[in-house]
A and B are shown apart, each in its own frame.
Chain A
Amino acid sequence: MATNPRIVVVGGGLAGLAAVIKVAEMGGQVDLFSIVPVKRSHSVCAQGGINAAKNLKGEGDSTWQHFDDTVYGGDFLANQPPVKGMCDAAPGIIDLLDRMGVPFNRTAEGLLDFRRFGGTLFNRTAFAGATTGQQLLYALDEQVRRYESEGKVRKFEHWEFLSAVLDGNQVCRGICAMDLRTMEVRTFPADAVIIATGGNGMIFGKSTNSVVCTGSAQSALYQQGAFYANGEFIQVHPTAIPGEDKLRLMSESARGEGGRVWVPKQPGDKRDPQSIPAGERWYFLEEWYPKYGNLVPRDVATRAIFKVVYEYNLGIDGQPMVYLDLTHIDRKILDRKLEGILEIYEKFVGDDPRDVPMKIFPGMHYTMGGLWVDFNQQTNIKGLFAAGECEYQYHGANRLGANSLVSCIYGGFISGPNAVKYARSQQTSTDGISSSVFEAEQRRQEGFNDLLINNPGNENPFQIWRELGALMTKNCTVIRYNKNLEETDAKLVELLQRFRNVNLSDKSMWANTSFVFARQVYNMLQLSRVIAQGACLRNESRGAHYKPDFPDRDDQNFLKTTKAYFAPDADEPRFEFEPVDTSLIPPRPRRYDAAT
């Protein structure tokens, strides 16, 4: 038994840092691994805010209402007890962040200000301008730096997670990682491991995600025997700015502050948007969803935009784009509450959204699915925990805006203490494990590296990745057909075959970024099959998963968690289904076009 156990945390975004802080506070020793310096993690990209039912606007909001909105917004696919735990804890989390110095926007009285987000009728979202994720991450980063200077945390930045070290009983005893500069492969023993490696947007080529969000770590663990749950649930954010290198998020807070989505009623209308009179504009979200208007949940808004663009052919100037209009809102309010995102639009598009309506289109944004975990955030591999976007627990079939930040921090706060408790309760500590276990894993990874670097083929990993992204975006996002999904999986098998012929233009062993990327591409391909096959199996429509051939939710057959596991001999996923814990709120139809 280890009283001051060593805990490895992989990933330095909000979930990882939240876990680190809890572990350090409990007397654990932390080794923190991250591809980028943790302050540069993808959490900085979250813009609009963080949900907590503080009820500071006299609206009668409650944590139960937050819980109900979250479960309903997720189309009843989430196990309910952990979601309730998160919503109950959210107000305390906001208070803590406030104490840590997050510059949340304030009311005249000096209290926290809250705004409205999608999928709720309450002002429940605390925010720091329109760079809330950045501000929260910095607050946690600062606390971790404090622990680091006290010697309680060791940081391994510019290191890439390769795999877990599993002993003969499939118990996790540490990790195997690679130094991204020296390319050295090493194992790190730990009494427990927490994975907090974020999303997998890179699988879709262009998304709102950061470059490091490949899902590679999750995929590696799935290939080592971890369950991957609800992989088919991919959130496509309704409002992103199309770009050459990525899709940049245009926060839901733009609509929370009164932004309106519209298209010209006349197809191919070439007039300057400001000169189009109100009567000739179609505010389709407000017309179709009078109660929630522009703030319907993301899956609903995204499908509505697709319908307007592809079925009614009403995209701006015939292009796949619609207007998101803020020009009717006072400039001072926009600057005070949305400056960060308006700046992004100005810098990357060149127009000032205070004067000109923005042109936006849906873009892949978030994965609701992820590593399967129990209510203690532990995966099916003992000693291996997961928190944040890389696990599946809190958002069901669709995540509500501003719930991700709270789920990351809450997941970190649950996984950290549970990892310490687990480590303290173990009969055999990792110190007693034979070094041969670690050596074997290191050799396995070095073997893969040798194969890759010396491979004599003719395929460029960046090319394979581009094809993967186009394929997955086309068939595995907003609208899904079984025929296309089957073709997608066949194509993925082909891409995996082609990967065997990868030839790296760069064979050096110093800061070789294409080599590292090639490793990630392999893992992306394996995980893509989980997404495509999972989508194919689920013959219903629920939340973000929409099949025109099966347009309704089918609770009888599919009120179930999809659990994928890897069959090493067949080199492909297998699936089983697990009932959803709906013990607190009985499932009801999800309809935002009518009062509920």
Chain B
Amino acid sequence: MADNKTVLIKVKRQNDPKSAPYWEEFELNYRPGMNVISALMDVALNPVTRTGQATTAIAYDSNCLEEVCGSCAMLINGRTRMACSALIDNLEQPVTIEPFTKFPVVRDLQVDRSVLFENLKRVKAWVPVDGTYDLGSGPRLSPEEQEAAYPLSRCISCCCCMEACPQFNEQTGFVGAAAISQVRLFNTHPTGKALKTERLRALMGDGGIHECGYAQNCVEVCPKEIPLTTSIAEVGGQVMLQAFKDLFRK
């Protein structure tokens, strides 16, 4: 009976960073067009587990719900992805929902991904403009240059590439594909490349670009289909060249 159709979800929960995780199952009424977010919203409306036990609303990060803010990244059926664009119709049930494993859990599905923003500082991912007063138009760019930069600039900082990367872990301290791809973006910009040397040096040494093990998981899981491995290859070449230059300058 279509009327009685339900959705089964299994959520890995954790009350705070220090406590042990546990699983809860929920059976929800099915509606066409449901996504993982609407399932989590249904739980908040009626926080009762499948076995009828009262529980609490599930904590999760979300904002735009159209895959452009990067908030709602989690593991859904074991896959690194955004919860908003995970449509229930396309998922095998029970749908398992877990927080990312390589970032500290805050609560339930919320994790602390501030490391990426720190990395963006480390690689100086900005164009060093003189100031915000009126200084006339920017540099001319061909449509081809714009079309090369734009896809890189669509990175939503979701950290899917870092979660999926075997090299991204506490041992290596690897900076991750997202930040490296931003280096490529800013090193290409006519004004942004003023900081090219500093950016490349930031990618040398501990946790630098050499930690990449070419597993290519990053490019596979990127929800924005950013050519991350191409970015790593290109920036890797730039770093190598810079290292040679630095060597001879000594």
Contacts and interface: CB of A to CB of B under 8 A. Distances in A.
Interface of B: 15-16, 31-35, 37-38, 41, 44-47, 54-57, 59-71, 84-85, 87, 106-107, 110, 113-114, 117, 120-121, 124-129, 131-132, 134-143, 145-147, 149-150, 153-154, 156-157, 186, 189, 191-192
Contacts of A42: 63-64, 69
A506 B57 contact: yes
Contacts of A131: 68, 154
B143 A44 contact: no
A460 B45 contact: yes
Contact of A514 (B44, B110, B121): B44
B121 A511 contact: no
A413 B121 CA distance: 24
A103 interface: yes
Contact of A100 (B16, B127, B136): B127
Given A101-B186, A143-B129, A244-B35, A510 B63 contact: no
A348 B66 contact: yes
B106 A511 contact: yes
A134 B68 contact: yes
Nearest to A38: B117
A466 B45 CA distance: 9
Contacts of A347: 67, 85
Contacts, number: 193
A99 B38 contact: no
B136 A103 contact: no
Contacts of A350: 87
B63 A212 contact: yes
B127 A210 contact: no
A96 interface: yes
A107 B45 contact: no
Nearest to A40: B69
A505 B55 contact: yes
Interface of A: 21-22, 25, 36-37, 39-42, 44-45, 92, 95-96, 98-101, 103-112, 128-129, 131, 134-135, 138-139, 142-143, 145-146, 148-149, 157, 181, 210-212, 243-246, 248-249, 336, 340, 344, 347-348, 350, 413, 460, 462-463, 466, 505-506, 508, 510-514, 517
A157 B63 CA distance: 14
Contacts of A157: 114
Nearest to A95: B137
B127 A36 contact: no
A82 B209 CA distance: 49
A142 B128 CA distance: 10
A238 B62 CA distance: 25
Nearest to B225: A343
A107 B134 CA distance: 23
Given A145-B120, A145-B125, A149-B121, A103 B57 contact: no
B56 A514 contact: yes
Given A39-B157, A101-B186, A145-B121, A44 B55 contact: no
Contact of A245 (B45, B47, B65, B140): B65
